[in-house]
Amino acid sequence: MSGTSPTDPQRGPNPYGQNPYGQEAPGPSPYGENPYGAHPYGQAPYGQGGPAQGQPGQGHPAPSYADQGYPAQGGWPGQQAPGPLTAPRRPGAITASFWLILAGGLVLLASTLLAAFAMTLPESRAMLEQQMRETYEQMGLPADQLAQMEQMTDQLLPVMSVVAAAFGVVAFLVYLLIALKIRKGSRAARTVGTVLAALSVLMIVTNLMMGAVNPFDLLWVGLGVAGIVMAFRPEATEYMRLKAWERAGTR
């Protein structure tokens, strides 16, 4: 025969002749119109009595994050958004530092302007020329060279007066800028002020060694150094740290 019988010993029982698992084929669904039959887990996945409450597509809206105990926006449950940062209170050490540095700059400006004005007075010019002549004579210069140096000094005095006044104005602006920045809590300004104070002290020491001491120089250098010392007090340092955090939070 060209085919095989249902009980062919070489092929075994026909797999299409009967249920290979020894069970009867399922009959009509006991659930009527439900084409999927009974639920594979034996009950509804959300409990008895029909579909679970809150399932989308079953006549109930989907539960929101707030209903499930989660915050409406980002963050963890129970975590609150940080409020606005309050500006740190300026300590008295910072205020004292500001006024001391500003006073030092004002004294420096006044001393340089007075020196520049003194160069234009005939009495001051005559005294300065006499000092320069004595210096040239000590150098052993010939008479012709001495006359040339005196003439050059007369020509340079007006220029020296203008330069001294300009130096005083620029120095005062630098002191004012450092004082304002320190009052705002800038640690960089405190560092620059420290360097300038150290250079000023070095200048005073050099003048003392040469015997040329000006009371105004001692005053403005002392005020500037005192202002920088006040800026390094613990409350001033803490204020600068808080201001740095405040600037970082507003970026």
**SS3 track for 92-119:** HHHHHHHHHHHHHHHHHHHHHHHHHHHC
Q: Is the pLDDT of residue 48 over 80?
A: no
Q: What pLDDT score does 69 carry?
A: 44
Tell me whether residue 135 is in a domain. yes
Q: What residues make up the domain containing 153?
A: 92-249
pLDDT tens, position by position, 144-163: 777 777 777 777 778 888 99
Tell me whether residue 191 is in a domain. yes
Q: What pLDDT score does 14 carry?
A: 52
Tell me whether residue 206 is in a domain. yes
Least confident range of 16-20, 101-105, 244-248: 16-20
Separation in Å, CA 32 to CA 40, 93, 217: 16, 89, 109
Q: What pLDDT score does 9 carry?
A: 46
Tell me whether residue 51 is in a domain. no
Q: What pLDDT score does 112 carry?
A: 93
**What integer is the mean pLDDT of 72-82?**
43
Q: Is the pLDDT of residue 76 over 50?
A: no
How far apart (Å, rounded) are the C-alpha atoms in residues 66 and 56? Answer: 17
Separation in Å, CA 225 to CA 2, 154, 181: 119, 37, 16
**What integer is the mean pLDDT of 13-40?**
51
Number of structural domains (the chain) is 1
Tell me whether residue 17 is in a domain. no
Tell me whether residue 83 is in a domain. no
Burial readout 209-236 (b: 16 or more C-beta within 10 A, e: otherwise): eeeeeeeebebbbbbbbbbbbbbebeeb
**What integer is the mean pLDDT of 172-180?**
96
How far apart (Å, rounded) are the C-alpha atoms in residues 251 and 245? Answer: 10
Tell me whether residue 9 is in a domain. no
Tell me whether residue 149 is in a domain. yes
pLDDT tens, position by position, 199-243: 999 999 988 888 777 888 899 999 999 999 999 999 999 999 998
Q: Is the pLDDT of residue 168 over 50?
A: yes
Nearest Cα neighbor of 111 from 193, 177, 204 is 204
